[in-house]
Structure 1
Amino acid sequence: MNKPIASAQPSRGPSDHEVRAQIVDAATEYFTRYGYEKTTVSDLAKEIGFSKAYIYKFFDSKQAIGEVICANRLAAIVEAVSGAVSDAHSATEKFRRMFKALLASGSALFFQDRKLYDIAAVAAGSPWPSVAGYEEQIRKLLSDIVLLGRETGEFERKTPLDETVNAIFLVMKPYFSPLLLQYNLDAADEATAQLASLVLRSLAP
């Protein structure tokens, strides 16, 4: 008795993940050329060759696409900062490197991809969840550095940790927030070096 011949498997199209990545890549390129605020979902659909309705299957708004792009850019900044502090041997040096790396990474994005920087600025003004996550990661890095400094005797231990971290965060924010940095670029290198020294003096035991 002959065995039935198995029917051919239907060809598979791109996965949802691949389609989402394609939309994000195209949107990143489009936003780089024309800016986030001037672009509509209809513009993106036309550029990619998808229908507007098809894009809405994967992202419920232009902001949702911008969120992914913004999160990717901010994650790259956090990665650069983490790499800069990882091999520093003291809490004092980690703090100086963190502040310097935050400024350098944000400034690079501002000058190299200005239209993408504008997405981050819009996100910070709202604020979008990606920015809230970014700021939380910076707070965590700060908290880890302060705790290390307290353990090694570099920093005082009397002030509550949350109060200390929040105060440092607020001092640093004009130089790492995408919304504020664009207004603080003049003499930012000198300002951040002086502020880092001021903060470190305030942390001394």
Structure 2
Amino acid sequence: MSHPERDTRQIIVDTAERFFRDIGYQKTTVADIAKSLRMSPANVYRFFDSKKSINEAVLERYKREQEEAIIAIAEQDRPAADRLREILIASFRLNAARFAGHARMQEMVCAAMEESWDAIIAHIERFDAVLRRVLADGVASGEFRAIEPAHATGCIRTAMIRFMHPLLISQCECIPGPSAEEMIAFILRGLEAQPQGA
């Protein structure tokens, strides 16, 4: 079944993303997007009330892809440590693939953080909810030591920030430090339940 309005919105988002990659968020105008689509700027504004809202839609697609991927991992019937490891490495790889080495896309993220901070915070809260669920599973099964999942989630996100934040992934590449896999192994070691009598 065709949904013309939804399809047009998607085409606008696809076109905007291409411009953001090719010339950068700051240089892209709604007129550029409209001209590429052989539309008037007024027609674009029927679907998006501002360039900021187009940017939010581009980022929303990225966030949705990441969130769907980590939720699928969290729902698997596997040990919590395995799921947590895979969630963290998948998040790093998805962000690196999208943003590492793509200065113009990093510019778009910076703009989103300045203009749409509420949307970024909402994404972090959804990410944290998935981590809390996996951590709570690990505590309940005795796999992880008795920790407060909400507190541990904040610590894990902070420990992984250089592997998650689109700007830091590139900026920290040349700084000595652990790999993402080494950091995840360190985190998991800290979560392990201690053997009885240890």
Alignment TM-score > 0.5, same fold: yes
Match of residue 184 from structure 1:
172
CA offset at residue 109 of structure 1? 1.0
Q: Is the 8 A contact 1:122 1:179 kept in 2?
A: no
**Number of residue-to-residue matches in the alignment:** 191
Matches of 1:116 and 1:152 in 2, distance apart?
41
Determine if the alignment matches structure 1 residue 173 to structure 2 residue 150.
no
CA offset at residue 111 of structure 1? 4.7
Matches of 1:114 and 1:73 in 2, distance apart?
16
Match of residue 110 from structure 1:
99
State the structure with more CA Rg.
1
Match of residue 33 from structure 1:
22
Matches of 2:177 and 2:72 in 1, distance apart?
20
Q: Is the 8 A contact 1:80 1:105 kept in 2?
A: no
CA offset at residue 85 of structure 1? 5.2
Match of residue 69 from structure 1:
58
Between the aligned residues of both structures, percent identity stands at 25
Q: Is the 8 A contact 1:71 1:131 kept in 2?
A: no
SS at match of 1:156: coil
Q: TM-score, normalised on structure 2? A: 0.81
Match of residue 38 from structure 2:
49
Letter in 1 for 2:109: A
Select the residue among 177, 186, 190 that pairs with 1:198: 186
Q: 1:82 to 1:112 in 2, by over 3 A?
A: farther
Matches of 2:32 and 2:170 in 1, distance apart?
28
Structure 1 unmatched runs, 5+ = 1-13
Root-mean-square deviation over aligned CA pairs: 2.7
Q: TM-score, normalised on structure 1? A: 0.78
Higher alpha-carbon deviation: 189-198 or 171-180 = 189-198
Matches of 2:27 and 2:54 in 1, distance apart?
14
Select the residue among 69, 73, 78 that pairs with 2:67: 78
SS at match of 1:57: helix
Match of residue 196 from structure 2:
none
Q: Is the 8 A contact 1:175 1:181 kept in 2?
A: yes
